[in-house]
Amino acid sequence: MEKKASLKASIRKSIQEKREEINLADFSLTKADYLAPGSEFPLVVQPSMPGVNLAGWTKSNREYINTELAKHGAILFRNFTVDSAAKFEEFARSVSADGDLFDEYGDLPRDNPGAKVYHSTPYPADKPILFHNESSHTHRWPMKIMFYCVKSAEGKGATPIIDCRKTYRTLDPTIVRRMSQKKLLYVRNFIDGLDVSWQQFFQTSKKEQVEEYCRRAGIELEWKGEKHLTTRQLCPAVVKHPKTGEMLFFNQIQLHHISCLDHDVRTSMLSMFRQEDLPRNVYYGDGSPIEDSIVAEISKLYDQQAVRFTWQSGDVIVLDNMMIAHARDPFEGTRKILVAMAELVYQKDIVALMNEV
Collapsed DSSP state (helix, strand, coil) of residue 47: strand
259 lies in which domain range?
A: 2-355
50 class by beta-carbon count within 10 Å (0-12 exposed, 13-18 middle, 19+ buried): exposed
Chain segment 169-183, per-residue pLDDT in tens: 999 999 999 999 999
53/61 Cα distance (integer angstroms): 12
Are 295 and 260 within 8 A, CB to CB? Answer: yes
Please calculate the CA angle 62-66-68 and round it to the nearest 5 degrees. 115
pLDDT < 70 positions in the chain = 1-27, 105-115, 357
224 SS3 class: coil
**What is the C-alpha separation between 166 and 243, in angstroms, rounded?**
17
Q: Provide the residue type at 80 as one letter.
A: F
Of the candidates 132, 195, 137, the residue with the CA atom closest to the CA atom of residue 159: 132
pLDDT for the residue numbered 113: 54
Alpha-carbon span 165 to 153, nearest angstrom: 30
What is d(CA 262, CA 6) in angstroms, rounded to the nearest whole number? 72
What's the first-to-final CA gap in the chain, in angstroms? 73
Bridge partners, residue 29, by sequence: none
CA distance 53 to 83: 11
Length of the chain as a residue count? 357
CA–CA separation, 342 and 189 (whole Å): 27
C-alpha closest to that of 328 among 120, 160, 164: 160
Q: What is the CATH number of the domain that holds 120?
A: 3.60.130.10
Provide the number of structural domains found in the chain.
Answer: 1
Nearest to 292 by CA among 315, 311, 275: 275
pTM of the predicted model, to two decimals? 0.87
Q: Give the helix ranges, DSSP H, for the chain.
A: 2-25, 54-60, 62-72, 85-95, 164-170, 173-182, 198-202, 207-217, 253-256, 263-272, 292-305, 347-355
Q: Quick one: pLDDT at residue 126?
A: 93
C-alpha to C-alpha distance for 247 and 40, rounded to whole angstroms: 18
Q: What number of CA atoms fall less than 13 Å from residue 4's CA on the CB side?
A: 1
What pLDDT is recorded for position 109?
A: 62
